[in-house]
Chain A
Amino acid sequence: DQQVKQNSPSLSVQEGRISILNCDYTNSMFDYFLWYKKYPAEGPTFLISISSIKDKNEDGRFTVFLNKSAKHLSLHIVPSQPGDSAVYFCASHGWGTSGTYKYIFGTGTRLKVLA
């Protein structure tokens, strides 16, 4: 069973410091890895992605790192701002071991940035 795991359900960080959100995956055949951000009463919104052939992608305050040997993905937010408080989902997609295309979401990490 292909899985994407976010083992930390919540994280609190002081404003201005770095937030690090983590994600582990099981299927080495995934093509892309993505992070979504979700505010209450809204749908998830796409934040940043990384191809499986890269190990880092930056977009402003957000950087995603991919460690393929460890099957680990992380999102760094620097500096963290109160408006970053939200639930963050990691996701990945690619061909599953059963030959079907999979797009799988993690369970989410609730980030709270303290002013």
Chain B
Amino acid sequence: NAGVTQTPKSRILKIGQSMTLQCAQDMNHNYMYWYRQDPGMGLKLIYYSVGAGITDKGEVPNGYNVSRSTTEDFPLRLELAAPSQTSVYFCASSTSRGGEGYGYTFGSGTRLTVV
């Protein structure tokens, strides 16, 4: 059982380049999330999805886009990379919005550096 799989594990981008962070889950979870973690900070929600075809903004959506064409996949797109987007990105999934106390299942993260 793979859980939540994120690719790539790390990437270095030049300013202005674009890329897609991939996220896939095999638990048939309806809810999926993208977070970023900056050094010394908590996890900040970028976007989330409550099911295929439905996405919504989180706390820090600027500079990112998402799509959810299937239950399994939730890619995050960076169109014009900026140094402020240097961070570790985590994808997560859950059976409900609040995880009902059972918590989210996280991927292992993608470390992105924009130079």
Contacts and interface: CB of A to CB of B under 8 A. Distances in A.
Chain A binding surface SS class:
strand
Contacts of B107: 43
Interface stretch (B14-22, B64-72, B79-87, B97-105): B97-105
Interface residues of A, number: 26
Contact of B43 (A34, A49, A50, A89): A89
Interface string A60-94: 00000000000000000000000000000100011
Nearest to A9: B40
Contacts of B45: 103
Interface residues of B, number: 23
Interface string A31-69: 110101000011111110111000000000000000000
B104 A46 contact: yes
B7 interface: no
A101 B50 CA distance: 13
A44 B105 CA distance: 8
Closest 5 CB pairs of A and B: A46-B103, A43-B106, A49-B101, A105-B42, A105-B43
